[in-house]
Amino acid sequence: MNFYGKMLSRAEKLMQVGYDRLSLLDKSIDRISNMYGMLLQEYDALDRSGIDPKLGKTIKRKLERWFINTAFSATVTGLSDTIESTPQILEILEVYRLTGIKTYLP
């Protein structure tokens, strides 16, 4: 297979993974949205705790990674999230939590 054939094959695999993630998110949006709400409650409790802001930011990042890894666990779903897609996933969940609109649908 030549270079362009390999690139096309890789692009097709990435598109399939993206589709699989959206499909999983769509099937589980309510459950994952509830988990996201719990994450936000943890953020709020952390903010009210009075700990050092720098430490709080570190803890929030770890909680966020835990949430994403739990919601998109490769051992459960066969999928895993990347750090690069985390902001988009969190934005989708925030909009859904506030409005009930699935922003990833055409």
Give mean pLDDT, residues 82-104. Answer: 84
Global pTM value: 0.69
Please state, in angstroms and rounded to a whole number, the distance separating the CA atoms of residues 37 and 43: 10
- pLDDT confidence bin for 105, thresholds 50/70/90: low
- Residue 56: per-residue pLDDT: 93
Q: Each residue of 17-60: pLDDT tens digit?
A: 778 777 877 888 888 889 999 999 999 999 999 999 999 999 99
Q: What string of DSSP letters covers 9-26?
A: HHHHHHHHHHHHHHHHHH
Indicate the burial class of 13 (C-beta count within 10 angstroms; 0-12, 13-18, 19 or more): exposed
106 pLDDT more than 60: no
Q: Each residue of 4-17: pLDDT tens digit?
A: 777 778 888 888 87
Amino acid at residue number 99: T
